[in-house]
Amino acid sequence: MSTHKDALPHSASRVTQLEQRVEQLETCYKITSLINSELNLANLLDTIMNVAKKVMNADACSLILVDEDTDELVFQIAISEVGEKLKTMTRLKMGEGIAGTVAQTGEPIIIEDAYQHPKFNPAFDKQSGFQTGSILCSPLKAKGKIIGVCQVIHGKKKGLVFQQSDQELFLLLCDSAALAIHNARMHLVLMENQRMEKDMEFAQSVQESFLPTSTPQHSNFTFAAQTHAAQVVGGDYYDFIPFDNELLGIVLGDVSGKGVPAALQMARLMSDFRYISQVDQEPAKVLAQVNNTLCERSYRGMFTTAVFCILDMKTKKLSVANGGHLSLLLKRNDSIQEIGSASGTPLGILPNMQYKQEEYVLQSGDQILVFTDGVTEPKNKQQEEFGTDRLKNLFSNNTASPEEFLQNLETSIKQFIGDAPQFDDLTSLTFNVL
Amino acid sequence: MSIDLKLDKTGDAVTVSVTGDIDMSSSTKMRDALAPLFQNNNKVVVVDLSGVSYIDSSGIATLVEGLQWSHNSKNKFRLAALSPGVKDVFEIARLLTVFEVFETKEQALAP
In 3D, which of B69, B64, B73 has the Cα closest to residue B99?
B64
Q: Which residues contact A40 (CB under 8 A, 6 or more apart)?
A: A184
Model pLDDT, residue A80: 66
Instruction: Give the burial string for A273-306 (b: 16+ CB within 10 Å, else e).
Output: beebbeeebbbbbbbbbbbbbbbeebebbbbbbb
Model pLDDT, residue A304: 93
Q: Are A328 and A416 contained in the same domain?
A: yes
Q: What residues make up the domain containing A92?
A: 2-185
Question: A178 lies in a domain?
Answer: yes
Q: Are A267 and A407 contained in the same domain?
A: yes
What share of chain A in percent tops pLDDT 90?
Answer: 58
Q: Is A198 exposed, middle or buried (0-12, 13-18, 19+ CB in 10 A)?
A: exposed
Looking at residue A305, which CATH number applies to its domain?
A: 3.60.40.10
Query: How far, in Å, CA of B69 to CA of B100, rounded?
Result: 14
Question: A69 lies in a domain?
Answer: yes
Query: How far, in Å, CA of A4 to CA of A10, rounded?
Result: 10
What ipTM was reported for this prediction? 0.84
Q: Are A177 and A234 contained in the same domain?
A: no
Backbone angles phi and psi of A150, in degrees to 5: -125, 135
Q: Are A180 and A217 contained in the same domain?
A: no
What does chain B come to in residues? 111
Model pLDDT, residue B25: 85
Q: Are A279 and A220 contained in the same domain?
A: yes
Chosen domain end from A140, A169, A185: A185
Q: Are A178 and A218 contained in the same domain?
A: no
Backbone angles phi and psi of A40, in degrees to 5: -80, 120
- Residue among A298, A301, A324 whose CB faces B94 most closely: A324
- Classified as helix, coil or strand, A134 is strand
**Contacts with B97 from chain A: Cβ below 8 Å:** 345
Q: Is the pLDDT of residue A8 over 70?
A: no
Of the two residues A5 and B51, the one the predictor is more confident about is B51
Q: Is the pLDDT of residue A89 over 60?
A: no
Query: How far, in Å, CA of A333 to CA of A342, rounded?
Result: 24
Model pLDDT, residue B35: 93
Question: A195 lies in a domain?
Answer: no
Q: Per residue in A285-344, pLDDT tens?
A: 999 999 999 999 888 889 999 999 999 999 999 999 999 999 999 999 989 999 999 888
Model pLDDT, residue A289: 97
Query: How far, in Å, CA of A362 to CA of A381, rounded?
Result: 39
- Chains A, B: CB contacts under 8 A, how many? 55
Query: How far, in Å, CA of B64 to CA of B47, rounded?
Result: 12
Q: Per residue in A111-122, pLDDT tens?
A: 999 999 999 988
Given an 8 Å threshold on Cβ–Cβ distance, is A303 in contact with B64?
Answer: yes
Q: Are A10 and A132 contained in the same domain?
A: yes
Q: Are A230 and A179 contained in the same domain?
A: no
Q: Is the pLDDT of residue B26 over 50?
A: yes
In 3D, which of A174, A187, A146, A138 has the Cα closest to residue A38?
A187
Model pLDDT, residue A337: 96
Question: A205 lies in a domain?
Answer: no
Q: Are A232 and A121 contained in the same domain?
A: no
Contact A138, A149 (CB under 8 A): yes
Q: Are A269 and A356 contained in the same domain?
A: yes
- A267 to chain B, closest Cα gap in Å: 19
Contact A369, A328 (CB under 8 A): yes
Model pLDDT, residue A46: 86
pLDDT band at B18 (very low <50, low <70, confident <90, very high): very high
pLDDT band at A84 (very low <50, low <70, confident <90, very high): low
DSSP string for A393-432 = HHHHT--S-HHHHHHHHHHHHHHHHTTSPP-S-EEEEEEE
Q: Which helix (H) or strand (E) holds A72?
A: strand A72-79
Q: Is the pLDDT of residue B20 over 70?
A: yes
Q: Which residues contact A48 (CB under 8 A, 6 or more apart)?
A: A35, A63, A150, A177, A180, A181
Q: Per residue in A361-387, pLDDT tens?
A: 999 999 999 999 899 989 898 889 999
**Contacts with B68 from chain A: Cβ below 8 Å:** 295, 298, 301, 349-350
Cα distances (Å, whole numbers) of residue A274 to A223, A267, B77: 19, 11, 34
Q: Is the pLDDT of residue A58 over 80?
A: yes
Q: Is the pLDDT of residue A230 over 90?
A: no
- Residue among A257, A298, A325 whose CB faces B58 most closely: A257
Model pLDDT, residue B2: 81
For A347, which DSSP code? B
Domain count, chain A: 2
Q: Is the pLDDT of residue B97 over 90?
A: no
Q: Is the pLDDT of residue B106 over 50?
A: yes
Cα angle, residue A134 at apex, residues A130 and A135 outer, rounded to 5°: 90
Question: A60 lies in a domain?
Answer: yes
- Residue among B65, B67, B71 whose CB faces A300 most closely: B65
Contact A429, A252 (CB under 8 A): yes
Q: Per residue in A345-362, pLDDT tens?
A: 899 999 999 999 999 999
Model pLDDT, residue A358: 97
- A104 to chain B, closest Cα gap in Å: 27
Model pLDDT, residue A432: 96
Model pLDDT, residue A327: 95
- B94 to chain A, closest Cα gap in Å: 5
Q: Is the pLDDT of residue B21 over 60?
A: yes
Give the mean pLDDT of chain A: 89
What are the strands of the beta sheet with A317-323, ordered from one edge? A236-242, A247-255, A304-312, A317-323, A358-361
Given an 8 Å threshold on Cβ–Cβ distance, is B61 in contact with A373?
Answer: no
Contact A93, A64 (CB under 8 A): no
Q: Per residue in A122-172, pLDDT tens?
A: 887 887 778 899 999 999 999 889 999 999 999 988 889 999 989 988 998
Looking at residue A141, which CATH number applies to its domain?
A: 3.30.450.40
Chosen domain end from A145, A168, A185: A185
Chosen domain end from A129, A150, A185: A185
Cα A248 to the center of its chain, rounded Å: 39
Q: Which helix (H) or strand (E) holds B20?
A: none
Question: A196 lies in a domain?
Answer: no
Model pLDDT, residue A36: 78
What does chain A come to in residues? 434
- A117 to chain B, closest Cα gap in Å: 43
Q: Are A124 and A261 contained in the same domain?
A: no
In 3D, which of A373, A412, A394, A53 has the Cα closest to residue B57?
A373
Nearest CA in chain B to A235: B57
In 3D, which of A262, A249, A264, A274 has the Cα closest to residue A305?
A262
Question: A197 lies in a domain?
Answer: no
Of the two residues A181 and A232, the one the predictor is more confident about is A181
Question: A53 lies in a domain?
Answer: yes
All domains in chain B, ordered by first residue: 4-109 (3.30.750.24)
Model pLDDT, residue B103: 96
* Mean pLDDT, residues A66-70 taken together: 90
Model pLDDT, residue A9: 56
Query: How far, in Å, CA of A235 to CA of A207, rounded?
Result: 10
Mutation for B interface: A231, A236, A254, A256, most B CBs within 10 A: A256
Nearest CA in chain A to B63: A301
* Mean pLDDT, residues B21-43 taken together: 90
* Mean pLDDT, residues A178-187 taken together: 92
Contact A336, A395 (CB under 8 A): yes
Task: Give the B window 69-108 contacts with A, CB below 8 Å.
Answer: 71, 92-95, 97-98
Q: Are A165 and A85 contained in the same domain?
A: yes
Model pLDDT, residue B13: 93
Given an 8 Å threshold on Cβ–Cβ distance, is B93 in contact with A324?
Answer: yes
Q: From chain A, which residues contact B within 8 Å (Cβ)?
A: 256-258, 295, 298, 300-303, 305, 324-325, 342, 345-346, 349-350, 373, 377
Where are any strands of DSSP class E within A209-334?
Answer: 217-218, 221-228, 236-242, 247-255, 304-312, 317-323, 328-332
* Mean pLDDT, residues A23-39 taken together: 79
CB atoms within 10 A of CB A336: 17
DSSP string for A357-368 = -EEEE--TT-EE
Q: Which residues contact A81 (CB under 8 A, 6 or more apart)?
A: A59, A60, A130, A155
